[in-house]
Amino acid sequence: MYIAIAGNIGSGKTTLTEMLTERYGAKAYLENIDNPYLGDFYEDMHRWSFNLQARFLASRIEQTMAMLAENTDLHIIQDRTIYEDAHIFAGNLHEMGLMSTRDIETYMQIFRLVTNLVQKPDLLIYLKASVPTLVKQIHKRGRDYEMNIDVAYLERLNKKYNQWIEELYEGRVLVVEKDTEDFVADPAVFERICAEVDRLDVQKKLF
């Protein structure tokens, strides 16, 4: 079963991926944050936006194709999806005037070609968090290149995420309200997530 974890920067995607991987003996595919354009991007978003997103898209394409090509009976847990790169991050940069129309059209052309060839997740878990919650987690984990992220930028991403989940994404979604549902501190929240995974797993085996 293919499970994907979606959410804004600092929402807890990697933590939940690790917890589910341990719970189910699953195979995890973590977000590759090794992007040589990240530091430059946070210093000058307009100059480096297309380079950053093209590199992330290439990495996500490579990971997703390899992941789905594997013949395994294990659950697959993916930290961030290929859809977020396009609908959230690239789309937001274009709306902010930080990516040209020419660049976004080129980017989306590649994205559409690829996503027509890959399977959607059986379950998408969306970690929905307010900006204060995101900022608190970003500061807690202490990545240097994230320390100066603009709060307004996080707010715009949140709006894009909510629009994507509510209006665009076609698939099964479980929403976790991170402001009040802490799956690390509260075992009951994690068990609720696992119950949904178990329910879907049973359905897949029956049909």
The residues pairing with 5 across neighbouring beta strands, listed in sequence order, are 79, 125
The residues pairing with 126 across neighbouring beta strands, listed in sequence order, are 6, 175
Spatial separation of the C-alpha atoms in residues 101 and 51, rounded to whole Å: 14
The pair of three-digit structure tokens given for residue 111, joined into one six-digit string: 């994205």
Nearest CA-CA partner of 195 in 126, 129, 127, 123: 123
Query: Which residue is associated with the tokens 């973590």?
Result: 30
Q: Which helix (H) or strand (E) holds 16?
A: helix 13-24
What 3-state class would DSSP assign to 175?
Answer: strand
For the question of residue 85 being annotated catalytic, the response is: yes
Task: Name the active-site residue from 85, 103, 182, 186.
Answer: 85
Spatial separation of the C-alpha atoms in residues 45 and 127, rounded to whole Å: 25
CA dihedral 133, 97, 106, 36 (to 10 degrees): -50
Active-site positions read 85
